[in-house]
Amino acid sequence: MPFDFPAAPAVDEVYTHTPSGLAYVWDGAMWKPGTSAVTTPDPYVKRAGDTMLGTLFQPDPDPTVPLATAHKKYVDRIVAEQALYQGIWNVASNTPDLNVPPNAPLNGYTWTAQTVDPAIPEVAPVGIPGIEGNSVAALDTIRWNATLLEYEQIRGPTALSQMTIADTAPPAAFHGQQWWDSDAGKNYVYYIDANGDGYWVQTSGGGGGASTVTVSPTAPTPATAGMLWYDTTTGELNVYYDDGTTQQWVQTNVEEAPIDNQVYGRSNAGWVLGTSGGGGIPDAPNDGVQYSRGAPAAGGTNAWTALTASGGGIPEAPIDTKQYARQDAAWTEVVGGAGGGITEAPTDGQSYARRGSDATWQPTTTAVSGPPVVPVADAFPASPVNGQLHFLGTDASLYIWFVDSSSVGSWVEVSAL
């Protein structure tokens, strides 16, 4: 039986279709399902063709099958992220081409950088705004900033941990980047100070692996043995050293003096040209005469003085194939008997003088002929004195004999070349 709605219904008049039992109400403009013009929302769609008047709720988690419905959070988070992510960008070949134009990126477009060798960063090609010339590592994120009209580089886990190994410094470095100079065998860290100035700072003399370096004007606390700290105030690299009884920071990076045939000394943590007042010692006159170094009177100026018989040096014994000994500040021929002769001084590269109080050879820190020199040998001298220097040929290092407050002496390395 067809529907037979009244021809002139009144508002809120109900019509019931007898065969189906469906009820409709007139709202003044049209017939609507129900028995009242005030419609109650129904959260469920009863059948195809019906209209759902309530709110549709989609529970978490995200949909997992192709035809599942999606809630707003999923659309905002997942779909939007997928729309912005553009995939892999090969740095060296610039694939895909990130130049603008031809590329016309939208704000937030991102790429993940990929290098030929994941362990070696590559330089971004010229013409890419914001990052051209930058050192880009595998897994770095490249993002387009539509406000600045340039790309932003977000360092990934590879860039923050890897060390560049090359004979030249990376052309475009970032704060904290590490570089091992394969020619010199030295480690460096790139430091950018408060003024925005960046420079490479040597952290070791080479040989060891990479270590974490604290870059700060103040020492890190707490500190542990072996920890490295670069003091941005003094430009010094320090290591925290535990000698078994005490712990302290020890400077490690004493740079080499200038190589220019000049004599230099250390003053105020720097090299000073060896002049009469600059902290170094000028050479003695080169005239075949023996000289000693000292001040002629208290408060005077140190100077070279020609040695005489009483000038503090020991003149050579006569060269006439005879054996001589020192007696009463003079050379005396040894003719046998109780004279005994003089034992030979140690043959270890040092200069020695005879000490009359106990008739022994003692190292002299003032050369008896020519300028002061640092002994060079493959073994340490047998009887060093406090403050004595020695260059050990086996490891090419300079040492000083140090006697502590307990009268215990030891050789201490003073520089690494």
pLDDT reported for residue 24: 84
Percent of the chain with pLDDT over 70: 74
CB atoms within 10 A of CB 291: 21
Mean pLDDT of 39-53: 58
pLDDT reported for residue 38: 45
- Cα separation, 179 vs 166, in Å, equals 7
Report the range of poorest mean pLDDT among 45-49, 68-72, 220-224, 321-325. 45-49
Beta bridge partners of 251: 238
Q: What's at 198, amino acid-wise?
A: G
Q: Is the pLDDT of residue 402 over 50?
A: yes
Mean pLDDT of 269-290: 66
Q: Is the pLDDT of residue 6 over 50?
A: yes
Owner of token pair 């670069």? 230
Mean pLDDT of 148-164: 78
pLDDT reported for residue 86: 86
Q: What's at 23, amino acid-wise?
A: A
Higher-scoring residue by pLDDT: 72, 97: 97
Beta bridge partners of 239: 228, 250
Which of the listed ranges 77-81, 139-143, 268-272 does the model predict with the highest average pLDDT? 139-143
Q: Is the pLDDT of residue 417 over 60?
A: no
pLDDT reported for residue 299: 63
State whether the Cα torsion 264-265-271-273 is positive or negative: negative
User: Cβ-count burial of 334 within 10 angstroms (0-12 exposed, 13-18 middle, 19+ buried)?
Assistant: middle
pLDDT per residue as tens digits for the range 211-241: 567 888 888 887 877 788 888 887 788 888 8
Q: What is the pTM of this model?
A: 0.30
Any idea of the CA torsion for 324, 369, 385, 298, to the nearest 10 degrees? 110
State whether the Cα torsion 111-117-122-126 is positive or negative: negative
Q: What's at 117, amino acid-wise?
A: D
Report the range of poorest mean pLDDT among 37-46, 244-253, 273-282. 37-46
Residue 228, both tokens:
């490295």
332 confidence band (pLDDT: 50, 70, 90): confident
Peptide bond into 96 cis (omega under 30): yes
Identify the CA nearest to 8 among candidates 23, 28, 24, 35.
28
- In eight-state DSSP terms, residue 235 is T
Owner of token pair 């140690």? 346
Higher-scoring residue by pLDDT: 204, 4: 4
Mean pLDDT of 145-162: 81
Mean pLDDT of 331-340: 63
Identify the CA nearest to 390 among candidates 407, 411, 410.
411
Strand, helix or coil for residue 311? coil
339 confidence band (pLDDT: 50, 70, 90): very low
Beta bridge partners of 397: 392, 416
Q: Is 72:79 a contact under the CB 8 Å cutoff?
A: no
Q: Is 5:24 a contact under the CB 8 Å cutoff?
A: yes
Give Cβ neighbours of residue 263 (< 8 Å, ≥ 6 apart): 273, 274, 280, 281, 282, 283
Mean pLDDT of 22-39: 73
Residue 396, both tokens:
């090419």
Q: Where are the alpha helices (DSSP H) in 69-117?
A: 72-74, 80-84
Identify the CA nearest to 204 among candidates 162, 239, 171.
239
- Cα separation, 58 vs 72, in Å, equals 9
Q: For 385-412, give the DSSP string.
A: -TT-EEEETTTTEEEEEEE-TTS-EEEE
Q: Is the pLDDT of residue 63 over 90?
A: no
92 confidence band (pLDDT: 50, 70, 90): very high
Strand, helix or coil for residue 77? helix
pLDDT reported for residue 278: 44
Q: Distance from CA of residue 83 to its chain's centroid?
A: 38
Q: Is the pLDDT of residue 50 over 70?
A: no
pLDDT reported for residue 204: 65
Arithmetic mean of pLDDT over the chain: 76
> 261-268: long-range contacts (C-beta < 8 A, 24 or more apart)?
none
Instruction: Parse the chain into domains and list their residue ranges.
Output: 1-56, 84-251, 291-416
CB atoms within 10 A of CB 385: 13
Mean pLDDT of 165-182: 78
Identify the CA nearest to 273 among candidates 285, 264, 281, 282.
264
pLDDT per residue as tens digits for the range 114-148: 999 887 888 999 999 999 988 888 889 999 998 89
Q: What's at 127, amino acid-wise?
A: G
- Cα separation, 119 vs 80, in Å, equals 32
Identify the CA nearest to 207 among candidates 5, 397, 400, 16.
397
